[in-house]
Structure 1
C-alpha cells in the first residue's frame, strides 16, 4: 500500500465551469462571473464585509501590508512557527519582524506574550490560525485596541473554522485564506483577502486592480479609470475562480468528509496519548475544528525521524514543518540568533499524517495501526 501525504480533490464540476468561463461568459482575465460568484459566496455565507480573490494567500497578505501602509522601520509581530509568507509580506515593505513564540498546548501564537513585544514602533499583530484552530481573538483584539494596532488573521489553513461562533478571517481588520492544492478547498493556487473595516474597501479594490479605479469604472461609478494609487496584479484569472467555485459549492460535503477522517485518526490514536507516548492536537473550547490537518507531537527530534523512516518503509508519506522563521538564515543574518523554545520544540517534534478528501477508512486504519506498532 502506498499512501501519499496529499492528493488534490476534484468535485467533478471544475472542467464544466472552466468551459463555461471560456465559451459561455467569454471572459477569462479576471473579475468576471465566477469571481463575483466566489465573492458573493463568502460574503453571504460568512457575513464578511468585503472579499477579493487573489492569486495566492501570499498576495492577500501583501495587500494587507499595503492597506496598513507599512513603512520601513515599522514593527510587525508575527508567530515564528509559520510559513515564510506570513512575515515576507511585511518585510517587503521594510518592516522589522518581531517574532512571538508558540503556546505550550498548541503551535499557534502565545497570546500572553504579545503585549511584552509591543514598542512605540509596533504597527500590527499578525496571527496564524494554525491547523485551522482559532487563536484567542478576544484577547488579541483587546491588546490591539489598547495600543491602536492593526490585526491581520493569516487564516490560510482556517477556511470554515470559527472562534466562539464567529467565522475565522472576519474578526481582525483583515483576514486571508489560501486555496493552494494542499488546503481544504483548492484551485491549484489561489487566495482571498477579507476586509472587515469598511474604510479600507475602496482602496483595497484599487490596489487589487493594479493601482487603478477600474472596478469603479466597470460598475459605472466613474466614466473613465486611471492610475490613482499603488497596487499590483493581485486578482486571479476567471479560470482559477471557476475552478474554485466548483469546490465552494461542495464545501459542506467536503468539510464533513474531512472531519470524519480527522476523528478517525483521533479515536484510533488517543490510546497513545493516554499512555503519554505522543500528544494529539489540542482544540480550545472557544475554537472549532475545520479538519485541515492531523498531526501528532513526538517526544523528540530523533523519535520523529525514526517514525518518518518507519512509515516510509510501510508506504506512508508523512511530513514535518516548519523551520521556525527566527532560525532562518535570512532572519539570523539581519538580527542575529534568537531562542523561542516552544516554536523550536514544535519544529522538532510535529509530524503531519496523510490527510486528503479521498483518504479511505481502511487507509486511516492502516496508518494508525503502523504508528501504534511503532510505539507499542
Structure 2
C-alpha cells in the first residue's frame, strides 16, 4: 500500500449531479445533452473544427485510420516510444508501420528523422505529444504539405497543451493535424474513467466522420428531420460513449482551469525542490522545449542508467511513494521485433530504459510528499 499513489482521479463533486440530470433527461445512451455540451466546449475553447466523443483515445485513433481508408499498401510513420494504441489503430488496417526515433532532449518524435522515412507508399504521419508537451510542429507540417501526407496528432495526454509556432502564436495541441485524438482515462488531467475524443480539422472528412461515429449510418440526418429513416452508408462502429460518461466529463471540463492550476503547483514543486529532497539521485529533470507550453500531465526523471532507475523506484517505495516507468519501445516489442528492419532507435531506447515518472495529480499534497521523502 502506498501513501502517495502514482495517480488519483480528481472529482469536482458535480459529477453525480450531472449524471442524475442525464437520467432525468430520459436518455442515457449516446449523443444526448452532455455529449453535445462537451463537444461544443472543445470546439469553442480550442478551435477544433469538428469533434466526436469516443469510448477511448484508442477508438478515436481507430476512427482516424478508418476515415483515411488505410490498408496493406500504405505506410504510416510513427514514434516507437509510444503507447501500443498508437500503432494498433493502423496495424489493424494492415498498414506497414515505419518507426521513428525520439528527440535527444525530449521523448517526442525527432522531426529531423522523419523525411528519410518517407516513401512513395507513405500516407500519414502520426505523432505523440508526449506527456502533454508539443512536438516541433512547423517542420512536421511542412513535410506533410510538401509530400501530401495526412497528419494525426495523438494528443492523448495533451489537452490544454500548446505549440508556440514560428509566427509567435500559441496553437492548441490537437488543432493542427487533419485529425487529433485525446484520452480521458483516469490518468489524464481531465477524466471520465475511460473516454476519448476524435478531432477532425480537415473539412473533407466531416461528413464521413459523422457516418463512422453513427455506426456507419446517416442517423444524424434522420435526427435532424431530414430523412424519414436512416440507413447504412459507410463502414462504422459504436464509437460514441454513453451520456453517463459524457455527464461525468462535463463536470471535469467545467473545472479545467482549477485542475490545471493544481497540477501546475505539483509539477513546479518537483522542478524546484526535487533535488533537495533526493540529493543522492542524479537523474535529469524534464526538458520543456522552447516551442512548447505544457499542460502539467507528466513529471519524469531521466536516470543515468537503468540500474539507477531501479534503485530510485525501490527507494521511493520504501517511502511509500509509487513511481513507474513508461512505454517499452514498439519496434522491440514481442509482436513487432521480428518485423522491424530499420536502424537502431537509440534515443527511444534510452527513454525506455532510463525514464521514471513521478506522481502528479491535482490533489497531491506536496507538503505531505516532502515529509514522506525526508522521513
Please report the TM-score for the alignment, with normalisation by the length of structure 2.
0.95
CA spacing shift, 1:272–1:107, aligned 2, 3 Å: farther
Separation in 2, partners of 1:237, 1:306: 44
Tell me if the contact between 1:180 and 1:188 (Cα under 8 Å) persists in the aligned partners.
Answer: yes
Separation in 1, partners of 2:278, 2:175: 34
Deviation at 1:252, TM superposition (A): 0.5
Separation in 1, partners of 2:10, 2:47: 26
Match of 2:187 among 176, 182, 186: 182
Gaps of 5+ in 1: 371-376
Instruction: Kindly provide the CA deviation profile for residues 81-138 of structure 1, in whole angstroms up to 9, marking residues without a partner as x.
Output: 0100001000000001000001000000000000010011111000000010000111
Separation in 1, partners of 2:357, 2:311: 14
Partner SS, residue 158 of structure 2: coil
Partner of 1:17: 18
Deviation at 1:335, TM superposition (A): 3.3
Separation in 2, partners of 1:290, 1:323: 23
Deviation at 1:221, TM superposition (A): 3.0
Partner of 2:167: none
Separation in 2, partners of 1:227, 1:251: 38
CA spacing shift, 1:363–1:209, aligned 2, 3 Å: same
Gaps of 5+ in 2: 165-169
Partner of 2:91: 91
Partner of 2:366: 361
Partner of 1:105: 105
1:1-376 mapped onto 2 (5 Å cutoff): 2-22=3-23, 24-164=24-164, 165-269=170-274, 277-335=282-340, 339-366=344-371, 369=374
Partner SS, residue 335 of structure 1: coil
Tell me if the contact between 1:77 and 1:99 (Cα under 8 Å) persists in the aligned partners.
Answer: yes
Deviation at 1:220, TM superposition (A): 2.2
Separation in 1, partners of 2:250, 2:294: 23
Please report the TM-score for the alignment, with normalisation by the length of structure 1.
0.95
Tell me if the contact between 2:281 and 2:312 (Cα under 8 Å) persists in the aligned partners.
Answer: no
Partner SS, residue 62 of structure 2: helix
Deviation at 1:222, TM superposition (A): 2.7
Between stretches 7-16 and 273-282, larger displacement belongs to 273-282
Between stretches 99-108 and 279-288, larger displacement belongs to 279-288
Partner SS, residue 308 of structure 1: helix
Deviation at 1:273, TM superposition (A): 11
